[in-house]
Structures are given as structure tokens and as C-alpha cells.
Homo-oligomer: A and B are copies of this chain.
Amino acid sequence: MIKVGIIGGTGYTGIELLRLLHNHSQVTVIAISSRSEAGQRVDKMFPSLAGQCDLVFSLPDDVILNQCEVIFFATPHGVAMKSVGGFIKQGIKVIDLGADFRLNDTVEYQKWYGSEHTQDDLLSSAIYGLCEVNREQIKNATLVANPGCYPTAIQLALKPLIDNKLIDLSNIIADCKSGVSGAGRGVNQATLLCEVSESFKAYGVSGHRHYPEIKQELALLAGESVGLTFVPHLVPMIRGMQATLYVDLLDGNTEVQSVFAEAYKDEHFVTVLDAGIMPETRSVKSSNFCQIAVQKAPDSNKLIIVSVIDNLVKGASGQAIQNMNIMFGLDENTGLEQIGLLP
């Protein structure tokens, strides 16, 4: 059994790691840390674990973490970069669910995250953990930057088109919608049930931190820079994310359905729906799947691509485990076999 540690385990990605790893046949979680909750039983904070988990939160510098073979960081940006290096020196693999190793350019990091990036060397060794894109590099990675949720949904939706050079890269529109869990478990008036339930809104229109990550990775896919308009919205539901993408086909006669089907025919976690069927976020709720549909607009070269994921699974903790599986040479599906919870 692979010994796993989680640093910063009091948020939604933390409990989601615990839930998914609970059913993972090859690992055992030996430590979970929280500076604020150290000493408290984990099942007091997450009552779904009552009777099923004896873990107690440790301090993030507890020596038990040194016994781990892999550590997941589920911490706010700026935390992981400070302590990742020490673990890696001990031969412990690290998967960062936060943003510290996603942007290749430290100037961009400082611009969007408001603090200096102090770990240039680590950054250059980090692999961007979008499994369907970087699988080969992930196999040998010691440090994986787990992608953001919006970047995951958008890249999977565009990859076949970019790989096949089918679209105008200068005019990509990503109208995205996320459940409220994407905003985290932090205490925040803006995400009280009475503030967000029965309502819908755009947010971050003047600039969202996933914007540079999306632009960077699309440019890497394309081999050139892309023009992107990105508007995230908040949906009154707990989980789920949809990206609705609008692009211009270079050739309006392209058979896009088969391009997508071919591109993902061997990917377990990406399902291309039959022509005419649109995905729903609930179809992937609690699962690591991404479902994608494509549809041409009438009377134009506009193509609409829709992708859905569970923001906490394929958009965070599930993908992190998928990365772990790849890094340890396990079957990529291990612990991630479950299908979505419906209804």
C-alpha cells in the first residue's frame, strides 16, 4: 500500500481526496494536516466519515509526513511552494492541487496571485498534470501541478480542434459555469445559501486567475498564442462545471464529430457523446469523467463545444489521483471507477 499524506485537508478538495482514496485499493492515507485543526478528529469536521476514519489532523510539519511516498497539497496558493522542496529531496512525490506550479512565468504568477514566486527551480521541474495531454511526462514526474477546474474543462474541449488545426485561434470564447463548491469552504458571505441559491451571475469578468493558465496551456497545445475571452459564472448547485465554447471553424464543412470521437477513443475518462446529445453536469457528478458534445451553429462557421466535469473530481481531487496513479505505474482508473451519482 502506497503511503499518502494530505496537507491542508479542511477544504472540499481535502475531503474529496479522502472520499476517493477511501475506495482506492492501493493506497492508505497515513496523515492529513491542518494548522488550524491539528489534534481534532477528521470525522468531527467531515461527518460523512463518522465511524469510518480514525485520522486526526496533524500539524503540517509533523514528522509522520516524511513517511509518505506521495503528498497531496490542498492548500491556498503560496503555501506549497514553501515546503514542497523538502519533501522532494526526501524522494517523496508531490501533487499540488493549488496554483503554485501551474504558471510557467513567475512574472505572470506575481501579477495574478499578488505575491512573488520564490521557487524558480521547482517550477521548472513541475509537470502540468492534465493527464490526457501530458501523460508521458507525468509518468516520471516528482512534482505535478494539478490543473485548475476551468482549464481542465476548456482544454479537453479544444484539444482535438487545436491538434488538428481546425479553428481560428484568435477568437475563442469560453462561457463557463461552475457550481458553488468551486469557491471553496472558506467563510464567505458571498457563498451563503441565501446569497447564491436561486440566482445566477457572472463573476471575475474583469480577470479570473484561471485566465492566464488557460491561455498558457492552449498556446502550448497550439504552438502559438491564442485569443481568448473567458467569462465564468456561478450556478446555484454544489458540484459541476460546464464550459460552453464558441470557435470559428476554418472550414465549415469539417466533420468535427468524428474528429472528437477519434481523439478520445482510448481515453477512459473522456466521453464524446453521440451527435445531437448535449451533456448535463449531473451525468458526471461525483465521478472523474468528462463528457463532451459538439454542435455546429446554423448558417455560419461557428462551432459550439460543450464539456462537463465535476469540478471537485476531474477538476481537482480525482485528477490528482489520476496523476498519482500514472506516477506510480498503477492502472490509471484505480479508485476512480465509480460512475456519476444520478439523481
Contacts and interface: CB of A to CB of B under 8 A. Distances in A.
Interface of A: 12, 15, 19, 22-23, 46-53, 173, 175, 177, 179-181, 185, 187-189, 191-203, 205-207, 211, 227, 229, 231, 233, 235-240, 242, 244, 246, 271, 273, 276-287, 289, 291, 295, 297-300, 302, 304, 306, 308, 337-343
Given A12-B343, A283-B48, A23 B337 contact: yes
B200 A235 contact: yes
A186 to B, nearest CB: 8
B242 A341 contact: no
B194 A233 contact: no
Contact of A244 (B175, B191, B337): B175
A194 B201 contact: no
Contact of A246 (B48, B229, B291, B341): B229
B193 A342 contact: no
12 contacts: A12-B194, A15-B342, A47-B342, A51-B271, A52-B339, A175-B246, A180-B194, A193-B196, A198-B238, A205-B304, A231-B304, A286-B341
Given A177-B200, A205-B304, A300-B227, A48 B242 contact: no
Contact of A239 (B46, B175, B198): B198
Nearest to A12: B343
A263 to B, nearest CB: 14
B278 A201 contact: yes
Contacts of A15: 342-343
Contacts of A197: 193, 197, 237-238, 343
Given A271-B50, A340-B48, A185 B192 contact: yes
B287 A205 contact: no
Contacts of A280: 47, 199-201
Nearest to A192: B191
